[in-house]
Each structure stands twice: as structure tokens, then as C-alpha cells.
A and B are shown apart, each in its own frame.
Chain A
Amino acid sequence: MDPGSKQSPEYSVSELDRKARFVVLFLIMSGVFWLLFGTLLALVASLKMHMPDWLAASGWLTFGRVRPLHLNTMVYGWASLTGAGVALWLLSRLLKVPVMLRGYIILAGVLWNIALVVGSIQILAGGSRGIEWLEFPVSTMVVIVLCVIIMSASVLMMLAMRRVKQLYVSVWYLIAAFLWFPLLGLVSSLPIFDTPTVQAGMNWWYAHNALGLWFTPIGLAAAYYFIPKVLGRPIYSYGLSLLGFWGLALFYNWNGFHHLIGGPVPTWFVTISISASVMMVIPVVVVAVNHHMTVVGSFRAVVNSPTLRFVVFAAMSYTFVSLQGSMQALRSVNEVIHFTHFVVAHAHIGMYAFVTMMLFGACYYIIPRVTMREWHSKSLIKWHFWLTAIGVIIYAVALQGIGVFQGFAMIDPDVPFTDTVTMTVPYLVARSVSGILMAAGHLIFTWLMFRMVWRPGEQPATPLVWNKIKEEFAS
């Protein structure tokens, strides 16, 4: 990017941030609300796993409704709304144009939230579609997709009116995400998937791509932006960025069908998917090298910056979860871990340790800039980081550890099925404990966000850098 050689009038970053303020804050704060709601549902569902009689009297609070709603509110509420807010802010900064169609995006955000409320009530009332990741009724999904399309229009207008010569790597990912997600959402809502086999194919095509072609690009775009931005060091290699992006674009779309290993689908269908899942090693390793080589030698900075702590944790989780995913796709591995808690933990490493932690990191950078205020407590940010990081690590280790044993027990015909269930109970308790840690982290995050936006009490005047306490900050 080469500023200073533009003929058209330019906006300064503070003007861009000011224009983006309301849109970005609205989307992110909506997301934070759904994060809290989704966390509550997660705790209820997790406790029910080892306390099955708890809250079982009411049909509205049975596991089969609470757990899908947890997934749907986290995915379409927290991660999508906050992710969209982060994406719009990043694009405004990177294309050096204000966020376009701001009024329409606010309208879309309001509709989106209403759709989430309606969809949530319908799931709790028993109206789930019964398709994983698509439990919301079609009406809710269609509204959400239309709202994303409005954002996509804004994004494409920003792209057309850009004031930069070269598109930074984050821009590729974000533009692609805003084109891919509407396609996924619309196709999955079409009433053409009537036969069970075809519906299962659509289900996993959609669900895996929602992660890989919507949340992953937003997460990687954030990593590609914040790592060099905060460190002040250039991204290691432009060529590797290219390879990583096109590798994802080429291979990811095929991945979903490895969920159907052993199902009544043609062998070639599953085999191609497994091959593509293994091929994902290429973009993942390339992106990991690119990020690692950018960060290497600056790990001190990672410890000191609230943003980088989360972003680097998330980027490392991305590498880990993706390599794990490639391995899990192999038939011999899948045979053991399929239908066990291993896969549940894998999904949480993806959506939580990668996507959610990345969004936390992005918020710690974006919110002070759009509000022109400062985080008021560094110790609370530290608490937030350690509670969520330790929480998700306990979650992953406990469930993936027992998941392997559970898997071997389930394929052993001599082990009664009940034993494969009871053996997991202590680890399900560990999962609830980790959930409580993460929930505490979310409460801290919400409190910090609330202080930033509605600012009760005094605000510190200077940017927060850990281990570098200023005299004026102490007073």
C-alpha cells in the first residue's frame, strides 16, 4: 500500500473509525449479547450431560433443544454478528473508504437480531429443523442471509471505491467470505434437499463450509491485519499469503463429506472429500509459517499486547485444529473418533480457540479506536485471557482424551454400550468446569465492553500496555 500518491481525497484513519463507529459497535455489541445468551445455554447443556434429571421437567429446556440453540446462537449470533462488525472495520481501514450503506447495515443488524430471537423461540418450542448447524427455521436463515447480502453489497461498494492500489491479503479473505456465505446460506435454504442422503450431503457441505468459508476467512483476515499492525513488522511473505488463500479457496469446499464416512453415500464422494481434507495441510502449514515467521523474535510483544495475546493464541489454535481435522478425516482415524466427544472438542477448538479468541483480540484493538476511549483495567483483560484460554484447553484435553478411549470402547463388541457412556462422566464434569471458566471470562469481557461503550466511571487516558505502567495511569 502506498499512501500519498492518491488523486482522490483521502480519509484519515480517525475519520474512517468515526464513520464506522456506530455500525461496528452495534454489530459487535449485538454479538456480545448473543455470546452471553449462548454461554448460558452452553452451561445448561453441559450440566445436563452429567445431571440428566436437572431441568428435565420442562420440554423447552430439554437437552435436544438447548444444545442446538447454543450452537445456533453462538454461530449466527455471536460469531457472525461480531465477525461482520470486525470485517467491516478491517475493510474500511484497508480500503481506506468509510463503511458504505451504514443505514442499511443497521437495519439489517436489527432484522438479524429479531430473526435470532424468533428462531430461538422456535427452537426452544420444538421447531428445530433437525439439521446440524441449520436448526434455525428456514425463515430465520433466509433473513440472516439477506442481511449478509446487504453487508456484501456494502463491501463490494467499498471495494469499488477503494483508495488503495494493492489489495492487502486480509481484503482477499474478507471479500471472499462475503461472497461465499450468502451462497452457502441461500443454497442450504432451498427446498430441494428432500431425500435423506442428499440432505445429509447438503448438511455437511454447508456446516463445514460455514466454518471454513465464513468464519475462517474472517479470522485469518484479522490475524493477517493485527499481527503486522501491532508488531510493526511486515508479514513474512506475500507469496505465501497468496498460496495460503488460494489453497483454502481450492480445497475447503470439498471437505464436508468426510462427516459421512460409513454413511450410505458413494465411496468416491467420501474419498474425494478425504483427499481434499488432507490437502488442507498445504494452506494451513503455509499460513502458519507466514504468521510464525512474522511473530518470531517478538514474543515479548505478544505477551504485552492484549490484542496480540488473543490473536496469536487463535492463530496457533487454527494451525492445531486444522491439522487435527486433516488427520481426523482419514477413514482409519474417523472409525474410532466418530460419534465420540473427540469431535465435539474438535469443533470447539475451531469455533472457540480459533474464531472466538480471534474476535476477542480484534475487539481489544477495534473498540478503543472507534470509541476513542481506553480499556479501564489491564488486570481484567488478563483475567479474561487466562480464564478463556485455560477453559478451552481443559475442554479440549478432557474431551479429546476420553473421546479416544470412548471410540475404542464403542467399536469393541465386548464392551456394553452403557459402559462407553459412564466412562465419560468425570470428563463431562471437567467440561462443565471449563465452561464455567469460559463463562466467567465472557462476563469480564462484557463488563469491559460495557465500560467502553456506556462508560460509567472514570476512563484511563492512555493506551493500555502491560508491564509498562505510566505514572499518569496510576493516579
Chain B
Amino acid sequence: MAEEKKYEGRDTGPDKHKMNPEEQERRVNQERAADQERPEKRDKPGVSSDFTDPEDERSMEELHRAAMEREEQLPEEGNERGPWWMYAIIVATLAFGFFYMGRYLGEISDQPHVLFTTPAPVDEVAEELDLMATGSRVYTRLCQSCHQQDGAGVPGAFPPLGGSEWVIGAPERPVYIVLQGFQGEIVRNGVTYNAVMPGFGRLLSDDEVASVVTYIRNSFGNEAPEVTPEEVAEMREAAAGRTDPWTEAGLDEFIGL
């Protein structure tokens, strides 16, 4: 169609007279000429006034002219090179990106965070086992809710650990109670206790049992020799197969006291 070739389009957007004249000199002159023609065009009936219904009786040609009048053809793209600093940014970004990838790629493996958190070697931990520190953590996690932070227990519900002869006496008693638990009536300082303590044997390693027993034997005013993981391992082996909590009589008999 002939109209497609070249037309003086009226823009919906800018007012060309208000644009920067240095930049747009050629175009503005062109537009100015076009603008002067426009009032006549606009006065034609059907094109711009009574612009109501698209299904009206206007011909396709009129509709098309109405559409073309209000917009310009999409101009072809230019072919500028862009400012130098844009290329500087591109080079710097590439350099940073590749540096970052090289520096922080880590090991290609299915291990999470192999780069930022190195897993500590296991045997080193065993050598440097701090019984009191580990024991304190285990106590806070598992024991404290009943026996309380100060090891005093709750009168009538949970017996105290501080000053308890069972705790500071033979190491077997506390170890077995931690491993398999305890039930039955006992009397401490004139108060009767009859609660069931669950066993933690499945939950805790030998290191942890040794730590927590050592911890209670040396906290809350207690003082007693430490218990080693090797001793715990032996005792665990000796009572292998037992899952029920101990009773006072049963435990005495088993230990042979």
C-alpha cells in the first residue's frame, strides 16, 4: 500500500517543537512543515471528529489514514558502537565473573559447602575429647529439663544429682542409669521419688555417655574421678541386650555391690 511508504505521521507522544533543536534540527524542520498541514487534515469529517465507533460506516481507507496519522513508522535501528566505558564495564565484569568462579568454585562434589566449612577429622576429635565441655552440652540437651540446671532436681519428682552418692560412688551406677534408665521408688533426703527415667543408650555414643557422667560427677558440688569412653564401652557391652530401665535391686545385683 502506498501509504506505508512515506507519510508525515502525527505523534501521539512528543511535542516536536519542544525537543532539543540542536539534536533534532533536520527532523524538527520536517515536522514543522508537516504540522502546518495538519489542521486541514483534522478538519475532515470522519477522520478525527466523531471518532466514536469502529464499526461505523467509514471506509477502510479512512480508518487506515486515521491510524497512520497518529503514529510514525518504526524507524530502522542505528548502528552506533557505544561509549568506551561500556566496553570497560563488560571487560571488568567478565574478569570479575571468571575470577569469582575460579576462586570460589570449590570441589565439584555432592558435599554441601566443601569450601566454606571444612568438616573436622573424626579421629582428631576423639583425641581431644573434652569430657567436661561435651558433658555440659549433653547435660543441657537431655538432662537439664528434669534434673535442672543446678542439678538439684525437683523435690518429689526428680531426684537431685548434687551430693548424690550414686553419682559420685562407683561409676557403674550412673553409667548404667544413663544407658538404660531407671524406675522404682527411692528416698533421697527424706523425700520419696517414683518417676521413670528413660535410657539414653541408643541416643548417645560412648564418648558422650562418658562425658555426661564425668560432668555430673564433677559439677553441682560433686567431686569424683572421671569416666573414660573405654570404660563406658565395656559396661555397654556387659549389659548388651537389656532395654528395660533398672530397678534399685536389679542394678545392685547386676553390678555386684
Q: Which residues of A contact B (CB under 8 A)?
A: 1, 3-4, 10, 12-15, 17-18, 21, 94, 168-169, 225, 228-241, 263-268, 271-272, 274-276, 278-279, 281-282, 285-286, 289-290, 293, 297-298, 300-302, 304-308, 331, 365, 368-369, 371-374, 455, 459, 461-465, 467-468, 472
Contact = CB atoms under 8 A, between A and B. Distances in A.
A371 B109 contact: no
Nearest to B79: A238
A366 to B, nearest CB: 11
Contact of B78 (A229, A234, A307): A234
Nearest to B61: A12
A230 B18 contact: no
Contact of B114 (A267, A293, A300): A267
Contact of B19 (A301, A373, A459): A301
A257 to B, nearest CB: 13
Contacts of A271: 100-101, 104-106, 115
A13 B106 contact: no
Contacts of A306: 13
Interface of B is mostly: loop
A154 to B, nearest CB: 22
A1 B74 contact: yes
Contacts of B123: none
A268 B74 contact: no
A12 B18 CA distance: 31
Contacts of A14: 60, 63-64, 66-68
Contacts of A241: 77
Contact of A279 (B70, B75, B94, B104): B94
A305 B13 contact: yes
A274 B24 CA distance: 43
Interface residues of B, number: 68
Nearest to A460: B51
Interface in B98-127: 98, 100-101, 104-116
Given A10-B4, A286-B82, A462-B48, A234 B68 contact: no
Contacts of A374: 51
B80 A232 contact: no
A244 to B, nearest CB: 11
Contact of B82 (A240, A297, A459): A240
Given A236-B78, A286-B90, A297-B23, A278 B14 contact: no
Contacts of A239: 79-82
Contacts of A463: 10, 12, 70
A266 B106 CA distance: 9
Given A14-B60, A266-B114, A267-B116, A232 B75 contact: yes
Contacts of A264: 112-113
B77 A169 contact: yes
